[in-house]
Amino acid sequence: MAPVPPPNRPGEPVGVARAAAVVPVPGGPVDRPAPEPSDGPALRPAGQAAPDDESGAPGARSELRRQLRERRRLRAAVLVLVSVVLLGAVPLFFGIRTLSRDPVFDNLDQLNVPGWAAAKTVDEVSGSRWCLLDCRLRERTVTSEKSPEETAGVYESALREDGWQPWKVSRCPEQETKGSYTCWRRDELTLDLWVREPTCVPPPVDGEPAVVPSGDPSAAATKCTGSLVSVKVRNAIDDERTRPQPSTDPSLTGEDPFPTVSADPLGELTPSPS
């Protein structure tokens, strides 16, 4: 409760009375002016505890900075790991795929032939792709559902579309064969295409292979249809047909360095004409 100012005495100025009215009473509440705002930390009355967010401020800030640094390191490590996996796994995958699968077979798979002309496919590979000791030989055997004539026409047309050129060369085939046998070249590869009638074998009987009667060898082929396709692809440098073929022309042999010696009737040794 504010103290009541004493009444003005006779002859006392009004200003003095008003000044005396604001004199604090000992032991009573003190009216203090409101503090002016400032940029620094607010002053706390003595005995008042610091708020929770400011207690131990130096240690909390250093702990926060340490956690942020750890998070940044973790993010950087994750990014590096992901980059290594993406940059290393993808080439490794395609490298293993390339080594395990010959690209020549992939090219043969892309030939524009109908499904009936490639009902069943069997691939075999021998030799080294880099021609270490032996160059690579690719062999493919395909079962066709139609006749050899129709199958040969389909494969020859597909090879021309794929950039293969007919190759007229001796020893194509190297020996007489039945069916259609043609040779082809493209870039550094040579290809032999052989389309023929299939060799039909009767089904086994009681787990044992059936024996074709010798008197009638066509008995086993009465129900055999379709055709068989053989594709052989080699490196041109390993194909002997790309090299100069030996000739037996006598004009290319020259003089015999060791002429035959014979005796004449007079007993003298004279060289025989070569």
* CB 157, CB 134: distance < 8 Å: no
Answer whether residue 261 is part of any domain.
no
Do 70 and 183 belong together in one domain? no
Averaged confidence pLDDT in the chain = 74
Cα–Cα dist 123/154, whole Å: 20
Q: Give per-residue pLDDT as tens, 50-96.
A: 544 444 567 788 888 888 989 999 999 998 888 887 777 767 666 66
> Burial level of 104, CB count in 10 A (0-12/13-18/19+)?
buried
Do 154 and 192 belong together in one domain? yes
Do 86 and 110 belong together in one domain? no
pLDDT surpasses 60 at 127: yes
pLDDT surpasses 90 at 193: yes
Do 154 and 234 belong together in one domain? yes
> For residue 201, what are the CA distances in angstroms to 129, 144, 174, 209, 250?
35, 16, 26, 9, 50
Residue whose C-alpha is closest to residue 156's, from 147, 145, 164: 164
3-state secondary structure 13-77: CHHHHHHHHCCCCCCCCCCCCCCCCCCCCCCCCCCCCCCHHHCCHHHHHHHHHHHHHHHHHHHHH
pLDDT of residue 54: 47
- Rounded mean pLDDT, 161-185: 93
136 Rama class: left (phi>0) / alpha (psi -120 to 50) / beta: beta
Do 182 and 94 belong together in one domain? no
pLDDT of residue 220: 45
Q: Report the number of distinct structural domains present in the chain.
A: 2
* CB-based contacts of 144, cutoff 8 Å, min separation 6: 116, 117, 118, 119, 151, 195, 226, 227, 228, 229
Instruction: Give 257's pLDDT tier (boundaries 50, 70, 90).
Output: very low
- 100, 128, 158 — which closes off a domain? 100
Cα–Cα dist 158/108, whole Å: 10
Answer whether residue 41 is part of any domain.
no
Do 189 and 67 belong together in one domain? no
Across 144-158, 168-182, 249-263, the highest mean pLDDT is recorded for: 144-158
Answer whether residue 65 is part of any domain.
yes
- 78, 100, 122 — which closes off a domain? 100
Q: What six digits make up the tokens of 233?
A: 């692809």
Do 123 and 163 belong together in one domain? yes
Answer whether residue 168 is part of any domain.
yes
Answer whether residue 129 is part of any domain.
yes
Do 65 and 126 belong together in one domain? no
* CB 205, CB 256: distance < 8 Å: no
Do 113 and 95 belong together in one domain? no
pLDDT of residue 203: 60
Do 195 and 66 belong together in one domain? no
Do 152 and 230 belong together in one domain? yes
- 50, 85, 100 — which closes off a domain? 100
* CB 151, CB 116: distance < 8 Å: no
Answer whether residue 1 is part of any domain.
no
Answer whether residue 269 is part of any domain.
no
Cα–Cα dist 77/94, whole Å: 26
Across 41-50, 55-64, 198-207, 257-266, the highest mean pLDDT is recorded for: 55-64
Cα–Cα dist 3/116, whole Å: 118
Instruction: Give 134's pLDDT tier (boundaries 50, 70, 90).
Output: confident
pTM of the model as a whole: 0.52
pLDDT of residue 29: 52
Residue-number span of the structural domain to which 139 is assigned: 104-202+222-242
pLDDT of residue 100: 63
Do 67 and 196 belong together in one domain? no
Answer whether residue 267 is part of any domain.
no
